[in-house]
Amino acid sequence: TNYTSGEELFGLPITRYPELEKIEKELEMLGRLYELYTSAISTINGYADILWVNVVTNIEAMTEQVAQLQAQCRKLPKSLRDWEAYRELRKTIDDFLELLPLLQALSSPHMRPRHWKTMQDITVGTKGT
């Protein structure tokens, strides 16, 4: 490793640095988690820029992309599952996947003005609760 190259070069006994090796592994895992986290957040937040009229055409791609993020999240090392950042990432992905069927239903061509009016009445009535 990087820590012992000087000792090897001069033929000195190799000193082990278990703390540094542990930190190096943790940093690698954090790097993978951070990369996935930033990808997930930018992907999901990017969906907010899609106009409502285009949701129908994009819903399948959105579902596929977020499902891929979920699969990548599940492939991360099990030791990361205790970390708050992992739990937050998993919740963000899972919450959006749960929201997609609702978006799909709301973007259906069968939604009529009376349906939107009913939803408006219900949601306006629940603002204070």
Q: In whole angstroms, how far apart are CA 114 and each of 40, 56, 93, 118?
A: 35, 20, 32, 6
Give the model's pLDDT for residue 126: 62
Give the model's pLDDT for residue 120: 83
Q: In whole angstroms, how far apart are CA 128 and each of 30, 90, 115, 120?
A: 41, 30, 22, 14
Cβ pair 66, 96 in contact under 8 A: yes
Q: Which residues of the chain have pLDDT under 50?
A: none
Give the model's pLDDT for residue 123: 80
- CA dist 99 and 76 (Å) reads 24
Contacts of 20 (CB under 8 A, 6+ apart): 3
Q: Mind listing the pLDDT tens digit for each residue in 87-122? A: 999 999 999 999 998 888 887 778 888 888 888 888
Give the model's pLDDT for residue 52: 81
Give the model's pLDDT for residue 72: 95
**pTM confidence score:** 0.73
Cβ pair 85, 37 in contact under 8 A: yes
